[in-house]
Amino acid sequence: MDLAMKHNLTDMIENISTDVQDGDDPEVLKNSVHFLIQNRQFDKAVEIMISLGNLDEALQISEQEQVYLKEDMAMKLCPPAT
């Protein structure tokens, strides 16, 4: 991911961002979010923010940039039923 950001390989970053897993380095993912936002790849940035648990920020970016939320993304943004 660091290499892809360093060389501005947005296609590679998009591919990597779809494969975010629980064991991935949170710092690298945060840097990825920043890079994706700078490159107007808001949908991928929001996906990573959700996986990091930054739900408020993900929702804010989604609203500001009119990001289409897939069903699984929307479900993760909803508070758990009590």
User: Is residue 41 domain-resident?
Assistant: yes
Based on the structure, what is the number of domains in the chain?
A: 1
User: Is residue 25 domain-resident?
Assistant: yes
pLDDT tens for 33-77 read: 888 898 898 988 998 898 888 999 999 999 999 999 888 888 888
Q: What global pTM score does this model have?
A: 0.75
User: Is residue 30 domain-resident?
Assistant: yes
User: Is residue 7 domain-resident?
Assistant: yes
What values do phi and psi take at 2, rounded to 5?
-60, -45
User: Is residue 82 domain-resident?
Assistant: no
Angle between helices 26-38 and 42-52 in degrees, nearest 10 = 160
Distances (CA, A) of 54 to 11, 25, 59: 23, 15, 9
8: left (phi over 0), alpha (psi -120 to 50) or beta: left
